[in-house]
Amino acid sequence: MNRPPRSSNFGFDFSPSQTGWMATAPSALMDGPHRLQHRPPPPKRAVQLGGLSGIAEEWLASLPPRYQPLTTAQRHPHVVNRLAALWERPLHLPAYFDELLLSDRPGRAGFTFEVLTELGDLRSLLELAMHRARQ
Protein backbone atom coordinates (compact mmCIF):
# COMPACT_ATOMS: atom_id res chain seq x y z
CA MET A 1 0.00 0.00 0.00
CA ASN A 2 1.51 3.29 -1.06
CA ARG A 3 0.80 6.23 1.16
CA PRO A 4 1.54 9.78 0.25
CA PRO A 5 4.30 11.24 2.37
CA ARG A 6 3.14 12.96 5.51
CA SER A 7 3.67 16.64 5.64
CA SER A 8 5.20 18.04 8.75
CA ASN A 9 5.12 21.49 10.25
CA PHE A 10 8.89 21.67 10.04
CA GLY A 11 9.25 21.08 6.31
CA PHE A 12 10.99 17.70 6.65
CA ASP A 13 9.91 14.65 4.69
CA PHE A 14 10.33 11.57 6.88
CA SER A 15 8.77 9.11 4.46
CA PRO A 16 10.66 5.82 4.02
CA SER A 17 11.50 6.63 0.42
CA GLN A 18 13.28 9.81 1.48
CA THR A 19 15.09 8.61 4.59
CA GLY A 20 15.87 5.00 3.75
CA TRP A 21 14.41 3.70 7.02
CA MET A 22 11.73 1.10 7.27
CA ALA A 23 9.34 0.29 10.05
CA THR A 24 10.23 -2.84 11.98
CA ALA A 25 8.20 -4.90 14.39
CA PRO A 26 9.88 -5.53 17.76
CA SER A 27 10.19 -9.23 16.92
CA ALA A 28 12.28 -8.36 13.86
CA LEU A 29 14.77 -6.61 16.11
CA MET A 30 15.38 -9.84 18.00
CA ASP A 31 16.39 -11.89 14.98
CA GLY A 32 19.02 -11.45 12.32
CA PRO A 33 22.41 -9.76 12.25
CA HIS A 34 21.20 -6.55 13.88
CA ARG A 35 19.40 -8.15 16.80
CA LEU A 36 19.41 -6.34 20.10
CA GLN A 37 22.10 -7.42 22.49
CA HIS A 38 20.67 -8.25 25.89
CA ARG A 39 22.93 -7.33 28.74
CA PRO A 40 23.04 -9.44 31.86
CA PRO A 41 21.56 -7.77 34.92
CA PRO A 42 24.02 -5.84 37.07
CA PRO A 43 25.56 -7.82 39.92
CA LYS A 44 23.87 -7.53 43.27
CA ARG A 45 25.65 -5.31 45.72
CA ALA A 46 27.54 -6.99 48.50
CA VAL A 47 25.88 -6.79 51.88
CA GLN A 48 27.41 -4.07 54.03
CA LEU A 49 29.29 -5.62 56.88
CA GLY A 50 28.68 -4.50 60.41
CA GLY A 51 25.17 -3.11 60.17
CA LEU A 52 23.93 -0.22 62.27
CA SER A 53 25.61 0.73 65.50
CA GLY A 54 23.60 1.17 68.68
CA ILE A 55 24.16 4.93 68.45
CA ALA A 56 22.78 4.92 64.89
CA GLU A 57 19.69 2.96 65.94
CA GLU A 58 19.00 5.43 68.76
CA TRP A 59 19.59 8.37 66.42
CA LEU A 60 17.18 6.96 63.82
CA ALA A 61 14.50 6.51 66.47
CA SER A 62 15.00 10.09 67.67
CA LEU A 63 14.33 11.60 64.24
CA PRO A 64 10.83 12.59 63.12
CA PRO A 65 9.44 9.70 61.03
CA ARG A 66 9.45 11.80 57.86
CA TYR A 67 13.22 12.27 58.14
CA GLN A 68 14.28 8.75 59.13
CA PRO A 69 16.65 7.51 56.39
CA LEU A 70 15.48 3.91 56.45
CA THR A 71 16.54 3.04 52.89
CA THR A 72 19.96 4.53 53.52
CA ALA A 73 20.24 2.57 56.77
CA GLN A 74 19.41 -0.65 54.95
CA ARG A 75 21.67 -0.13 51.92
CA HIS A 76 24.47 1.98 53.40
CA PRO A 77 24.61 1.44 57.18
CA HIS A 78 28.13 2.89 57.34
CA VAL A 79 26.72 6.24 56.13
CA VAL A 80 24.02 6.25 58.81
CA ASN A 81 26.57 5.23 61.46
CA ARG A 82 28.73 8.22 60.52
CA LEU A 83 25.76 10.61 60.36
CA ALA A 84 24.67 9.50 63.83
CA ALA A 85 28.18 10.01 65.20
CA LEU A 86 28.45 13.48 63.66
CA TRP A 87 24.90 14.66 64.40
CA GLU A 88 25.91 15.98 67.83
CA ARG A 89 28.64 18.07 66.14
CA PRO A 90 26.58 19.84 63.48
CA LEU A 91 29.45 22.02 62.29
CA HIS A 92 31.09 18.92 60.78
CA LEU A 93 27.94 17.68 59.03
CA PRO A 94 27.79 20.08 56.04
CA ALA A 95 31.23 18.91 54.91
CA TYR A 96 30.16 15.27 55.26
CA PHE A 97 26.99 15.89 53.26
CA ASP A 98 29.10 17.56 50.57
CA GLU A 99 31.43 14.57 50.54
CA LEU A 100 28.47 12.20 50.15
CA LEU A 101 26.49 14.13 47.58
CA LEU A 102 29.28 15.69 45.52
CA SER A 103 31.84 12.89 45.48
CA ASP A 104 34.44 13.15 42.75
CA ARG A 105 36.11 9.84 43.51
CA PRO A 106 36.57 7.75 40.36
CA GLY A 107 34.54 4.61 39.87
CA ARG A 108 31.67 5.68 42.11
CA ALA A 109 28.20 4.73 40.90
CA GLY A 110 26.41 7.22 43.12
CA PHE A 111 23.37 6.75 45.31
CA THR A 112 19.90 5.72 44.20
CA PHE A 113 17.16 8.33 44.02
CA GLU A 114 15.63 7.11 47.29
CA VAL A 115 18.92 7.48 49.17
CA LEU A 116 19.62 10.89 47.62
CA THR A 117 16.16 12.04 48.66
CA GLU A 118 16.70 10.86 52.24
CA LEU A 119 20.11 12.54 52.43
CA GLY A 120 18.66 15.76 51.01
CA ASP A 121 15.85 15.66 53.58
CA LEU A 122 18.33 15.13 56.41
CA ARG A 123 20.42 18.03 55.17
CA SER A 124 17.31 20.23 55.17
CA LEU A 125 16.48 19.11 58.71
CA LEU A 126 20.02 19.94 59.81
CA GLU A 127 19.90 23.39 58.19
CA LEU A 128 16.56 24.09 59.88
CA ALA A 129 17.93 23.02 63.28
CA MET A 130 21.06 25.14 62.80
CA HIS A 131 18.95 28.15 61.77
CA ARG A 132 16.76 27.79 64.86
CA ALA A 133 19.84 27.47 67.08
CA ARG A 134 21.18 30.80 65.79
CA GLN A 135 17.99 32.66 66.66
**pLDDT per position as a tens digit, 80-125:** 999 999 998 888 888 898 888 887 767 777 889 999 999 999 999 9
Task: Give 97-103 contacts, CB < 8 A, sequence gap 24+.
Answer: 97/122, 97/123, 97/126
Q: Is the separation of the CB atoms in 103 and 74 below 8 Å?
A: no
Q: Quote the percentage of the chain above a pLDDT of 70.
A: 63
Sorting pLDDT into bands at 50, 70 and 90, what band is 14? very low
Q: Per residue in 113-128, pLDDT tens? A: 999 999 999 999 988 8
The mean pLDDT value for 75-82 works out to: 94
How many angstroms separate the CA atoms of 3 and 110, rounded?
A: 49
